[in-house]
Amino acid sequence: MAVRVYFEDTDLSGIVYHSNYLRFMERARSDLLRLIGIDQRGAFEKGDGVYAVADMTIRWLLPARLDDDLVVETSCTDIGAATISMRQRILRAGELLTDADVRAAFLSPAGRPRRQPADWVARYRALSMAVHPA
Amino acid sequence: MAVRVYFEDTDLSGIVYHSNYLRFMERARSDLLRLIGIDQRGAFEKGDGVYAVADMTIRWLLPARLDDDLVVETSCTDIGAATISMRQRILRAGELLTDADVRAAFLSPAGRPRRQPADWVARYRALSMAVHPA
Amino acid sequence: MAVRVYFEDTDLSGIVYHSNYLRFMERARSDLLRLIGIDQRGAFEKGDGVYAVADMTIRWLLPARLDDDLVVETSCTDIGAATISMRQRILRAGELLTDADVRAAFLSPAGRPRRQPADWVARYRALSMAVHPA
Amino acid sequence: MAVRVYFEDTDLSGIVYHSNYLRFMERARSDLLRLIGIDQRGAFEKGDGVYAVADMTIRWLLPARLDDDLVVETSCTDIGAATISMRQRILRAGELLTDADVRAAFLSPAGRPRRQPADWVARYRALSMAVHPA
């Protein structure tokens, strides 16, 4: 996924404010899910549930600046019953700026962990197979 | 209401990013409502409805900077059946930085305009009377 | 300019948080300037100056929701010596959600109003002529 | 440091959007530095340098909701020549919602790692001694 850096993303040190990289990563995860046919809004509106980020380890190596064109790479690293783990990297012209390991948990409307839909798991597996064929 | 400016609020020109003043104003409106006994979260969770900002005219006169201590003044200027209008001013040490006229509409869960609760209207009127006695 | 709505843009009422439309509009203005050859980051880094939003009148007519694909239309309505005025409309499938009149002032690094570069004015005029030929 | 949750902080699932906890934590770090006499804005404006978050491990255990009153606890866990490490916990009525280990690096205006001012290191040490006396 491509991201362009706007004024809204920077802080007074002239670089992208650190928590905004998490927004870029969330956009990339949402786009990936949409691309593989997972309808988060539909699941939320039907009362099935919604993802919440459970934990994340993130390193900021180099800063992004205004007008930069960034690329966010996302891959599934683990598929649990109620969780999905992803590795995400933000690059500018092939140079690694930020990387992160993210785990999201599927939650019921009441906020309890819940198994994610079976066909979503199948879609994640198909994606992982396509990227890392046996 | 007092607001302190943090890194998150600035952009690369070193001043507060313009749309963040709207966040400061929303915080002040929420605090005012809470102070006069209006429970927005309760109304939302019961399915009564929620406010949405309908229109706003805003002027940015002077910029705020990192670590500034700001004050947001809020007063009711008009109380309709389904709307509430407020005038808000953001000051730093008595100097006016930003002012705005804001009108919020009360909406049903389906997003339709709805009369705001009668006791809320009474609370707004009491507030206006206290500030501008006849 | 196209904008997609992500989780980051919504609030708990399920719709886009009102001040986030200002961010969408700023992205559209930045993209427009870049398209007509105006380099805001270069001007800022050379110490020429930077735009700050001076005033805005905005109406929120209909809400945007998660995963919506929006279009932001931007046109110049007035070109001053030190200011540029624009009208912006946010639409979803041709339906008007939000419109705004925005005036931005060009400021020196010290924060004082300053004439915007002459070639920028020429570019704005060329744009207005292309859209509204005499 | 106390934080109140506003509409701006929530997303459509009704809870605080995950990256916003990072903003709360940054506010708490800034307040702590100010309390112990470290002037980040002054150092930035003099060209000494500025902190950038280098890495972070964060766990979201329980969600925060609109109008919640939160407390952010911050303690120094390691003081390097050019870095400061902190442990931060966000609590609501004594219940742990989120915890994180954060490392920030002091950077020159050109973005290179730089030793943080000696008196800042002394202030961090005094703080750690006060909290964890030998």
Tens digit of each residue's pLDDT (9 = 90 or more) over C13-53: 778 999 999 999 999 999 999 999 999 989 988 999 999 99
- Decide if B7 and A14 are in contact by the 8 Å CB cutoff: no
Q: What are the residue numbers of the active site of A?
A: 11
Query: What is the predicted pLDDT for the residue at B9?
Result: 87
What is the C-alpha separation between C83 and C36, in angstroms, rounded? 17
Nearest-Cα residue of chain D relative to residue B65:
D41
Chain B: nearest CA to D75, how far in angstroms? 19
What is the C-alpha separation between B89 and D101, in angstroms, rounded? 38
Which chains reach chain B with 3 or more Cβ–Cβ distances below 8 angstroms?
A, C, D
Question: Which amino acid, one-letter code, is at C101?
Answer: D
Minimal Cβ distance to D7: which of B26, B34, B65: B26
pLDDT, tens digit, 9 for 90 and up, residues D32-60: 999 999 999 899 889 999 999 999 999 99
Contact in structure between C114 and C63 (CB atoms under 8 Å): no
Question: Which amino acid, one-letter code, is at A126?
Answer: A
**Residue to test with chain D: of B6, B13, B31, most D Cβ within 10 A:** B6
Query: What is the predicted pLDDT for the residue at A110?
Result: 85
pLDDT, tens digit, 9 for 90 and up, residues B114-133: 999 999 999 999 888 776 66
Question: What CATH number labels B2-131?
Answer: 3.10.129.10
B37 at the C interface (CB within 8 A)? no
Residues of chain B with C-beta less than 8 angstroms from the C-beta of D40: 66-67
Question: Which amino acid, one-letter code, is at B90?
Answer: I
Q: Give the residue-averaged pLDDT of B7-30.
A: 89
ipTM of the complex: 0.87
Query: What is the predicted pLDDT for the residue at C11?
Result: 82
Instruction: Give the global pTM.
Output: 0.85
Per-residue CA distances from B89 to A29, A132, B25, B63 (Å): 39, 57, 8, 13
Rg (CA), chain D: 16
| Domain extent listing, chain C | 2-131
Three-state SS string across D75-96, please? EEEEECCCEEEEEEEEEECCEE
Query: What is the predicted pLDDT for the residue at D134?
Result: 53
Model confidence band, residue C128 (pLDDT cutoffs 50, 70, 90): confident
Residues of chain D with C-beta less than 8 angstroms from the C-beta of B67: 30, 34, 40-41
A44 at the C interface (CB within 8 A)? yes
Which chains reach chain D with 3 or more Cβ–Cβ distances below 8 angstroms?
A, B, C
- Decide if C7 and D17 are in contact by the 8 Å CB cutoff: yes
Chain D: nearest CA to A122, how far in angstroms? 25
Q: Give the residue-averaged pLDDT of B100-119.
A: 93
